[in-house]
Amino acid sequence: MNSMVLMQLCILVPLVGALLIGLSSRAPNIREGVTLMSAALLFAVVCGLYLNPDALTAGALVLAEPIAGIAIKLELEPLGLLFAGIASLLWLITSLYTIGYMRANNEQHQTRLYVCFAIALASTMGIALAGNLFTLFIFYETLTLSTYPLVAHNEDEDAVIGGRYYLGILVSTSIGLLLPAIIWVWYAGSSIDFVPGGVLPLNMPPASVWVLLFLFAFGIGKAALMPIHRWLPEAMVAPTPVSALLHAVAVVKAGVFCLLKVVVYIFGSEILLQSGANILLIALASVTIVAASLIALRQDNLKRRLAYSTVSQLSYITLAGAILTPVSTTAAMLHMAAHAFGKITLFFGAGAIYTAAHKTRVSELNGIGKRMPWTMGAFAIATLSMIGVPPAGGFISKWYLFQGIWTSGYGMLLLVLLLSTLLNCAYFIPIVHAAFFRPETYTPEYTPAQTHGEAPWTMVLALCITATLSIVLFCCPDIVVQLARLLHGGG
């Protein structure tokens, strides 16, 4: 099929899915069938794009042009293809998981959740395929707005306040910083298209480059660079499937993806190296990596600990992108995939524990490995991936990242990586250790009589699949590496 049609389908399939889900709100089985069908179809469409030999060279598809020169257009490039692939694959698996979770916990407003999920995925696809900054901004905003009902899903006071943080931080940074940055690019470079090598004029004063990069770094709040990271832990009030897909994959990855796109296609390595502005990103990312890990150490709530770990891991991707060597860009892309598979497994695990045992705190997890061996086994594999130990995908990305740092001359960053790896061990290993090697502790609320086994099978299946994907990524990272090579071939 024509790649132009496929690109439109990427956005239309989840949107039509959302409509059908909304219409079938009275029949839960049909509703969830539609969710699974549209997720599978979307993944098939993205695969079709990947297999289509000329999809990457087909050019742009202009949908509308509100202001002369500023069009809404879609264009495929390797980075976007990777992002679309990860998001669509994980939507399919998450749908499986969500169905189990929502039914087991008897959640309210399930239709709204599925509808917003589908709209959020359509926005994610739009971000992945955006052909210029304007289109990127539109879908960035729709992603924020469509995920707000998911974050505030429980409708209690915590959820509403968490939602306020989420919306407040993301919307204010995007309108207050990202939008002026985009208009500035339009004004300075007279183009907001994504062009390999950048669109900014080379004679732009270094100070302006610094300020512009600053606006982008904090304007793209979804990348969660400190101190614009607060929305992420606050958004953990959402049901776990939402946290899993959106706050480990779609939303945060959209953030780092936007940042990478801006670095590669708007600035270009030349102007960044010339003005030295990439030091800004490197410094911000390094600080975030270490500081977020330190905060994660102190969190007892499992989901909050995972959230801070996400903040830290995202900055790996930003850091890798900011080093601006081909190897480090490959590392960034690999880490996008590795972190997605690893972190979604961890969140799935947290949700499975909550569903089966109603436990949310790390300190309550003693001995749970014996009751939920599959869940905790997958959890352990994902932990390895987060730390960067074979046989998990995280190892490959860290390997490339080390290589990139080694060849780039920012030797000090090795220390940052080392320190953060140690911290990763320090906050993840105790969970796995307690789960498998400590005897169960009983409290007045939790007595031996309250036995439980695994969570519903769809949830266990989903988290086993994602853990397997982590291992698969370790065994054959070729797909991602090839895409990264195409990115450089284009640049």
Partner 1 sequence: MNHLAVIQVIIPLLSAPLCLLLRWRTGAWLIALVATWTTFGVSIVLFRTVTLHGAITYDMGGWPAPWGINYHIDSLSALVALIVCGIAALTLAYAHKSAKHEVRPESLRAFYALLLICQAGLLGIALTGDAFNMYVFLEISSLSAYALIGLGQRRRALRAAFQYLIMGTIGATFILIGIGLLYSLTGTLNIQDLAARVVLIPESAYGHRTLITAFAFLTVGFSLKLALFPLHLWLPNAYTYAPSVVTIFLAATATKVAVYMLLRFSFCILGKRFVFEQLTLGNILLIPSLAAILIASLVAIFQYDIKRMLAYSSIGQIGYMTLGISLNSHAGLSAGILHMFNHALMKGALFMVMGAVAYRTGSVYLSDFRGLGRRMPWTMAAFVIGGMSLMGIPLTAGFISKWLLVEATLEVGWWPVTGVVLVGSLLAVIYIWRIIETAYFNPRHEIEHGTDEAPLSLMLPMWTLIGANIYFGINTTIPLQMAKRAATMLISGGTL
Binding site for partner 1 (CB under 8 A): 64, 66-67, 70, 72, 134, 137-138, 141-142, 145, 149, 152, 155, 159-160, 163-164, 167-168, 171-172, 175-176, 179-180, 183-184, 186-187
CB nearer partner 1, residue 164 or residue 433: 164
CB nearer partner 1, residue 182 or residue 462: 182
Tell me how far apart the alpha carbons of residues 325 and 284 are, in angstroms, rounded to a whole number.
18
Residues in Cβ contact with 283 at an 8 Å cutoff, skipping those fewer than 6 apart: none
CB nearer partner 1, residue 183 or residue 486: 183
Q: Minimum distance between the CB of residue 365 and partner 1, rounded to whole angstroms? A: 32
Q: Minimum distance between the CB of residue 147 and partner 1, rounded to whole angstroms? A: 14
Strand partners for 72: 64
Q: Minimum distance between the CB of residue 312 and partner 1, rounded to whole angstroms? A: 28
Q: Minimum distance between the CB of residue 70 and partner 1, rounded to whole angstroms? A: 8
CB nearer partner 1, residue 81 or residue 181: 181
Q: Read out DSSP for 303-358?
A: HHHHHHHHHHHHHHHHHHHHH--HHHHHHHHHHHHHHHHHHHHHHHHHHHHHHHH-
Q: Minimum distance between the CB of residue 127 and partner 1, rounded to whole angstroms? A: 13
CB nearer partner 1, residue 149 or residue 233: 149
Compute CA 40 distance to the chain's CA centroid, rounded to the nearest angstrom. Answer: 20
Tell me how far apart the alpha carbons of residues 122 and 145 are, in angstroms, rounded to a whole number.
12
Q: Minimum distance between the CB of residue 10 and partner 1, rounded to whole angstroms? A: 18
Q: Minimum distance between the CB of residue 152 and partner 1, rounded to whole angstroms? A: 6
CB nearer partner 1, residue 146 or residue 470: 146
Structural contact between residues 264 and 333, judged by C-beta atoms closer than 8 angstroms? no
Q: Minimum distance between the CB of residue 125 and partner 1, rounded to whole angstroms? A: 16
CB nearer partner 1, residue 141 or residue 440: 141
CB nearer partner 1, residue 153 or residue 343: 153
Residues in Cβ contact with 95 at an 8 Å cutoff, skipping those fewer than 6 apart: 32, 35, 36, 39, 117
Retrieve residue 366's tokens. Answer: 């003693």
Give me the count of residues in the chain: 491
Distance from the first to the final alpha carbon of the chain:
27
Q: Minimum distance between the CB of residue 183 and partner 1, rounded to whole angstroms? A: 5
CB nearer partner 1, residue 72 or residue 460: 72
Packing angle, helices 78-104 and 110-129, rounded to 10: 170
Strand partners for 64: 72
Q: Minimum distance between the CB of residue 160 and partner 1, rounded to whole angstroms? A: 5
Packing angle, helices 393-408 and 326-357, rounded to 10: 150
Give, for 246, the enclosing helix (H) or strand (E). Answer: none
Number of H helices, E strands in the chain: 21, 2
Strand ranges, E, within 131-282: none
CB nearer partner 1, residue 51 or residue 64: 64
- Enter the DSSP assignment of 65: E
In 3D, which of 384, 413, 358, 477 has the Cα closest to residue 104?
Answer: 358
| Burial class (CB within 10 angstroms; exposed 0-12, middle 13-18, buried 19+) of 448 | exposed
In 3D, which of 208, 456, 477 has the Cα closest to residue 341?
Answer: 477
Retrieve residue 117's tokens. Answer: 């999920």
Structural contact between residues 414 and 405, judged by C-beta atoms closer than 8 angstroms? yes
CB nearer partner 1, residue 137 or residue 400: 137
Structural contact between residues 413 and 286, judged by C-beta atoms closer than 8 angstroms? yes
Q: Minimum distance between the CB of residue 65 and partner 1, rounded to whole angstroms? A: 8
